[in-house]
Amino acid sequence: MPGFAFTDNLGAITDFGLHFRPDEPALIQHDRTFTYRELDERINRVACGLLAAGIHAGDRVLILWENDIRFVEATLGTIRAGAVAVPVNPNLTEAMHRMHLNDSGAVAVLAGTTAAAHAACFADDERVILAVTADGSQSHMVEHEAWLASSPAQRPEMSSHPEELAWAPYTSGTTGTPKGVKLAHQMLLRDAQLLSQNCYLNPSDRVVLAAPLFHMNAAACGILPMLFVGGSVYILPSFEPATVLRTFAEQRATYSLGVPAMFKLMLSQPDSELARDYSALRLICCGSAPMPPSLIDRLTEVFPNARFVEGYGLTECGPAATMNPLIGPRRNGSIGRPLPGFEARIVDYDGEEVAPGNTGELWLRSPLCTTLGYLGRPDEDARKRKADGWFATGDLAVSDEDGWLYFRGRADDRMNVGGENVYPAEVEAILTRHPQVRDVAVVALPHDTKGQVPVAFIVRETGSDLDEASLREFFFTEGPAYAHPRRIHFLDSLPLSPTGKTDRRSLTRQARDTTPAEISGGPR
């Protein structure tokens, strides 16, 4: 379906803003602003610099930039040159960065300051023909600003086709070794179009991003749709709740996105931070976990003009695939219905569709917005990419009679408790109903007789004296006895992964270390 947008090349996603708003801000960070005209020139300089170095169409370029507005020019400049952007967490070890370099087959490295030393090491590799870093102190390295100044500002010829590979992010590795995911130009352009249409994004909108830019949540749901419509993006170096709140107010932000854990941390800030003027904020998009009604109620008190849009997607499919509409019918707790061009089905272990109301694995299909596959992993391709274009997400969901979808967690997280299927998300939803529970996460522990049992981690509301016995009794009145948490741990806050999601691996280790043997190993 080429031609559905004003460009077929993802590297030119800024062209709407360049045409209609050339001197308006595109990217902002602290005291630095790039207009659409300035950003276009910088993207061109990156593209021309890569081409002059000998980068060819289809070559991979490793992007190791921290949360800096220059991440955008490095990534889109790579794509505008016809190469493939491979953004990776800059905070990883040198060994992990080398793994990504080798696995992707990258022949160039563009780095900020955080990973500059790693880029300097890779510059000596025979395969690497160019290494550029923002750190001018690195000897024998090309410095980013000097490199740009030496490159032409004119746009190079763009010959990429919409079906070709443009972006190859790596999955977070929460279910195993990180995998490079092949995303085409048309996939990310179509996703930006769908999200901006569903959420009525326009040139007057401004999003504040504190999530890691290398992650597709920030890129596909923040940077790309906002640049697609000619809006502006304010980038923070990291997620610090009080700073995010202050920036919302100071920048008159209209749009925010994140995961529930991030918004819960915002609500834990002092009243002085929560009392700022957030009247401009009209839209909050949330994914990765359900938004409990109690959380939405508390957020509405702080952000009175904001509407909340829950959705679902994954790097390999979407990345936004289902959403509630901003305007129109919606169902709280639902991840919405498939966006136009998407189909969804819920299947059992044998790949057979289940009836509404039954939990199964979510499969998605889209002719434009499905990955081209994984880098160098044909076995994974065969496992996830099914017949007739369906993609097996590995996530559990349930559909109601009207086609609204409800997220139930990862299939890998499903536990068998004495023959009963128990889903962490369902246990969490029950515990969240307690008025003194601010946040919750449930993990599985092995059990000698039950097979597995749930263990819960709870963050109490400020001033609460809620104890384990009381909360367990509450669960018995609200949910099935077989699913009750066999142990409840109380924390000041839940640990977060680098992408802002609850770090379930860390909690599982903590559960194993702190749960008594008579609970984790004996009959219950």
Domain membership of residue 187 (yes or no) is: no
CA dihedral 100, 27, 324, 170 (to 10 degrees): 0
Phi and psi angles of residue 212, each rounded to the nearest 5 degrees, phi first: -60, 130
Q: Which of 354, 313, 349, 311 is nearest to 333 (CA)?
A: 311
Domain membership of residue 440 (yes or no) is: yes
How many Cα atoms occupy the beta-carbon half-sphere of 365 within 13 Å? 9
The sign of the torsion formed by the CA atoms of 496, 497, 500, 502 equals negative
Give the total number of structural domains in the chain. 1
Q: What is the pLDDT of residue 3?
A: 66
CA dihedral 291, 295, 298, 300 (to 10 degrees): 10
Domain membership of residue 102 (yes or no) is: no
- Residue 280 near residue 303, CB atoms below 8 Å: no
DSSP for 310-340 reads EEEEETTEEEEEEE--SSS---TT--BEEPT
Residue partners of 39: CB distance under 8 A and separation at least 6: 14, 26, 27, 72, 73
Segments forming the whole domain that contains residue 427: 414-520
Q: Is the peptide bond before 516 cis (omega within 30 degrees of 0)?
A: no
Q: What is the pLDDT of residue 521?
A: 42
User: What value, to the nearest 5°, has the Cα angle with vertex 414 and ends 412 and 420?
Assistant: 150
User: What value, to the nearest 5°, has the Cα angle with vertex 144 and ends 138 and 146?
Assistant: 100
Distance CA(464)–CA(480), nearest Å, equals: 25
Q: What is the pLDDT of residue 517?
A: 55
Q: What is the pLDDT of residue 50?
A: 98
pLDDT tens for the 524 residues of the chain, in order: 456 678 899 999 999 999 999 999 999 999 999 999 999 999 999 999 999 999 999 999 999 999 999 999 999 999 999 999 999 999 999 999 999 999 999 999 999 999 999 999 999 999 999 999 999 887 778 999 999 999 999 999 987 789 999 999 998 654 467 899 999 999 999 999 999 999 999 999 999 999 999 999 899 999 999 999 999 999 999 999 999 999 999 999 999 998 888 898 899 899 999 999 999 999 999 887 777 777 888 899 999 999 999 999 999 998 999 999 999 888 888 999 999 999 999 999 899 999 999 999 999 999 999 999 999 999 999 999 999 999 999 999 999 999 999 998 888 888 889 888 888 888 998 998 899 998 899 999 988 888 899 999 999 988 999 999 999 999 999 999 999 999 999 999 888 877 777 888 899 999 888 866 555 443 33
Identity of residue 426: E
Question: By CB neighbour count within 10 A (0-12 exposed, 13-18 middle, 19+ buried), where does 265 fall?
Answer: buried
DSSP label at 182? E
Max Cα-Cα span within the chain: 71
- Residue 309 near residue 283, CB atoms below 8 Å: yes
Domain membership of residue 116 (yes or no) is: no
CATH number for position 503:
3.30.300.30
Which H/E stretch holds residue 467? none
- Residue 203 near residue 17, CB atoms below 8 Å: yes
Residue partners of 288: CB distance under 8 A and separation at least 6: 217, 259, 260, 501
C-alpha distances in Å from residue 447, one per residue of 412, 425, 472: 17, 20, 19
Identity of residue 288: S
Neighbours of 379 (CB within 10 A): 8
Domain membership of residue 510 (yes or no) is: yes
Domain membership of residue 445 (yes or no) is: yes
Domain membership of residue 271 (yes or no) is: no
Residue partners of 162: CB distance under 8 A and separation at least 6: 2, 8, 9, 184, 185, 186, 189
Domain membership of residue 382 (yes or no) is: no
Q: Which of 30, 75, 38, 393 is nearest to 235 (CA)?
A: 30
